[in-house]
Amino acid sequence: MRRLFSSVRARATLAATLVVAVALVAAGAAVLISLYSNLTEQAGTEAERTAREVAAELAGGRTSEQLSLDDDDRPVQVVAEDGTLVAATEGLERISGTGTGAVRPQPQPSAPTTSAPGDDEDDDDDDDDDGSTGSATLRPGEIGEDASFTDGSATVDGTTADYRFAAVPVEVPDRGTFTVYAGGPLAAEQSAVSTAQTVMLIGFPLLLGVVAGVTWLVTRRALRPVEGIRREMAEITASEDLSRRVPEPDTHDEVARLASTTNETLAALETSVERQRRFVADASHELRSPIASLRTQLEVAAAHPELLDLDGAVEDTVRLQRLAADLLLLARLDAGERPISDARVDLAALAREEAAGRKNVTVRAESLEVAGSRGQLGRVLANLLDNAQRHARSAVTVVVRREGDRAVLQVADDGDGVSAADRERIFERFVRLDAARSRDEGGAGLGLAIARDVATRHGGTLTVQDAPAGGAQFELRLPLAR
């Protein structure tokens, strides 16, 4: 079960089904409540109408025996003010939910039509009492405007059913206040609610099944490209073939963008791995030459001490040391090492320091401070000066100036310059434009690569262009320290 719901498709299907289920339950409950309320109100309206018809007969002067209660199978009760049942539907056997549970009317003495002379005062008192009882709410012959409602049940002619009872008060002249109870059947409401419940109990599971099935199929179709991407990535991982690419669907949606981004990542990874392999191969090749030369000299010296070329051994050792330092710095830069941002370096002072002791190097520098590593920036300037002196005919010029919010350091020579086609290639690692040039004269081809990497880590740029004297001019741009 846990493995099943680890699938995005299964979780999406479950979530959609739960949302629809909650919505259906809420909607179903609202429909049932509304249906019950409307039908109950309708039954109450019918009951009130029947009660008012009977009350109108009482207000019109009919006696309890003259009321037309036998023509309707609905339960009706007429209750006197003292709680006595004075009239009821013929065949009423049981009733609940009204003011009284009696089903057999009790005889009521008729109101006197004349009175003795000595009884005038008493009659006046009785009239005052009757008037005081009913006058607070109703006048003689008046029917109450408001009806009260209750739910109950009744048995009429052996049939038991539930009813909505309406109670309507009426003031009968010379007889007091009566309350008419009439029932409206709730059978239609109960049948409609029961039918709705049955439909919901059957329909809701079917609808949820349809929703779950459609969601499962839709998500399966939508995630099919993702599965293709996953499968291809698994095969690429197993085969270690970074030249392969994942399929890109033509949907132009998030999945298509995911596939495109994945292919871009694979391309960048392939380039990085290829670069790393080439770097290792070139580094091994560059290290092999001084190591082989040094070993040969040592073996010769061991056999014939008088033939030891001490200067050559020292030169090879120094060259090996510099190459190892360059490789170590490149490894640190590739690892993402960042310079200390709060350290300030004066480019003018640094330029004069690096130019000191070098022949034919002129410095024209404005004092400008940048943030970064003095050691790494000094390495950049030293590499640029080494490169310029290697290719210059007679002079090298270093200029430090300000341009907006940038410090610009230029190193120019009067040599042959760099062709436009090679101005980016010279910053690649282990690249030497003159293949016939000896390694002793040309170096390992890491100086300019290191210089550009350091410039980039300091938020700057390093480019090459034609110098005013006709040679090459390297331009380092760095943000000024705040």
Q: What is the pLDDT of residue 109?
A: 54
Residue the block writes with tokens 């629809």: 20
Q: Are strands 461-466 and 472-479 parallel, antiparallel or unpaired?
A: antiparallel
Instruction: Quote the CA–CA distance of 55 and 46 in Å, as a whole number.
Output: 14
Residue environment code for 170-195, b if the CB has 16+ CB neighbours within 10 A, otherwise e: bbbbebbbbbbbbbbbbeebeeebee
Residue with tokens 């479950």, as numbered in its chain: 14
Query: How far is the C-alpha of 393 from the C-alpha of 472, rounded, in Å?
Result: 12
Residue 348's pLDDT is what? 93
* Residue reference for tokens 């039918």: 195
Closest listed residue to residue 464, CA positions, set 445, 444, 448: 448
CA dihedral over 289, 294, 295, 301, signed as positive or negative: positive
How confident is the model at residue 128, as a pLDDT?
39
* Third-level CATH fold of 254-334: Helix Hairpins (1.10.287)
Beta carbons of 185 and 161 less than 8 angstroms apart: yes
Separation CA 99–CA 88 (nearest Å):
13
Task: Give the domain 344-479 fold.
Answer: Heat Shock Protein 90 (3.30.565)
Closest CA to 143 of 162, 105, 169: 169
Tens place of pLDDT per residue across the chain (482 aa): 555 555 788 888 889 999 999 999 999 999 999 888 888 889 889 989 988 988 888 888 887 777 877 656 789 989 988 888 888 888 888 999 887 888 888 866 554 443 333 444 444 444 333 333 333 467 777 888 888 999 999 998 888 899 999 999 998 887 888 899 999 998 888 888 889 889 999 999 999 999 999 998 988 888 888 888 888 899 988 988 888 898 888 878 888 888 899 999 999 888 888 877 877 777 777 777 778 878 888 888 888 887 777 777 787 788 788 778 878 887 777 777 777 666 899 999 999 999 998 999 999 999 999 998 898 899 999 999 999 998 898 899 999 999 999 999 999 999 888 988 888 988 888 777 654 344 445 566 788 988 999 999 899 999 999 998 889 999 999 999 88
Check if the beta carbon of residue 162 is closer than 8 Å to that of residue 140. no
Q: Is 396 left (phi over 0), alpha (psi -120 to 50) or beta?
A: beta
Residue type, 300: V
Q: How large is the greatest C-alpha to C-alpha distance in the chain, in angstroms?
A: 173
Residues 6+ apart with CB under 8 A from 364: 397, 398, 399, 400
Sheet of strand 76-79, all strands in order from the earlier edge strand to the far edge: 85-88, 76-79, 176-185, 159-172, 148-156, 92-96
Gyration radius of the chain over CA positions = 53
Q: Please, is 168 exposed, middle or buried when counting C-beta atoms within 10 Å of its C-beta (0-12, 13-18, 19+)?
A: buried
> If DSSP codes are grouped into helix, strand and coil, which group holds residue 294?
helix
Sheet holding 361-365, edge to edge: 361-365, 396-403, 406-413, 472-479, 461-466
Domain residues of the chain, as ranges?
1-107+123-236, 254-334, 344-479
Looking from the CA of 278 toward its CB, the CA atoms found within 13 Å total 10
**The pair of three-digit structure tokens given for residue 310, joined into one six-digit string:** 């001490």
- Residue 121 CB: number of other CB atoms within 10 A? 8
Count of C-beta atoms within a 10 Å radius of residue 224: 12
Q: Which residues have C-beta within 8 Å of that of residue 354, sequence separation ≥ 6?
A: 378, 381, 382, 385
**400 with 412: CB under 8 angstroms?**
no
Measured CA to CA, the distance from residue 56 to residue 184 in angstroms comes to 18
Query: What pLDDT, on a 0 to 100 scale, did the predictor assign at position 132?
Result: 34
Q: How far apart are CA 219 and CA 226, in angstroms?
A: 11
- Please report the pLDDT score of residue 330 as a whole number: 78
Would you state the torsion angle of the CA atoms of residues 270, 276, 278, 279, taken in this order, to the nearest 10 degrees? 160
DSSP state letter for 358: -
* Alpha carbon distance 327, 280 (integer Å): 10
The CB density around residue 365, as the number of other CB atoms within 10 Å, is 18
Phi, psi (rounded to 5 degrees) for 123: -65, -40
3-state secondary structure of 144: coil
143 forms beta bridges with 170
Q: Which two tokens stand for residue 322?
A: 């510099």
Q: Is there a contact between 150 and 98 (Cβ–Cβ < 8 Å)? A: yes
- The dihedral through the CA atoms of 98, 99, 102, 106 has a sign that is negative
